[in-house]
Amino acid sequence: MRESGTKRCVVAYATREHQYLWTVDLPAHATVGEALKAARSLAVATRTPRGQNEELSEIPWDTAPVGIFGVICGRQVVPGDGDRIELYRPLRSDPRDRRRERVRRERASKRR
């Protein structure tokens, strides 16, 4: 049981290969930025299999867009108890462009 005046949040980051989740206990008034700092400390302290260490060192803790349950927010926002704070990585390509290309290829193959 948590003591009064604290909250627990989960910080999430995903690559194509792995999903990382860090549960952090914070003061009730802590911001998203402070939650990220606490999660970063956990990530550094946690030993992972060899290949994952490189992934963890490449997490853009200070520059990545962040959100709470899929809604973009600033690092100064105060999350609630139980919130999932997410670090977003850039997409390799725009999904709309990929779909347009796939449709173009399908139409071209039907003409043959």
Give the pLDDT score at 55: 67
Average pLDDT over residues 103-108: 90
Query: Is 66 contained in some domain?
Result: yes
pLDDT at residue 57 tops 60: yes
Query: Is 101 contained in some domain?
Result: yes
Residue pair 21/97 in contact by the 8 Å Cβ criterion? no
d(CA 75, CA 20): 19
If one counts the domains in the chain, the total is 1
Q: Average pLDDT of the chain?
A: 88
pLDDT at residue 11 tops 70: yes
What's the pTM? 0.75
DSSP 53-92: HHHHHT--TTTS-EEETTEEE-TT--PPTT-EEEEPPPPS
CATH code (residue 52): 3.10.20.30
Query: Is 1 contained in some domain?
Result: no
Q: Could you list the residue range(s) of the whole structural domain that residue 23 is in?
A: 6-111
56 pLDDT band, cuts 50/70/90, is confident
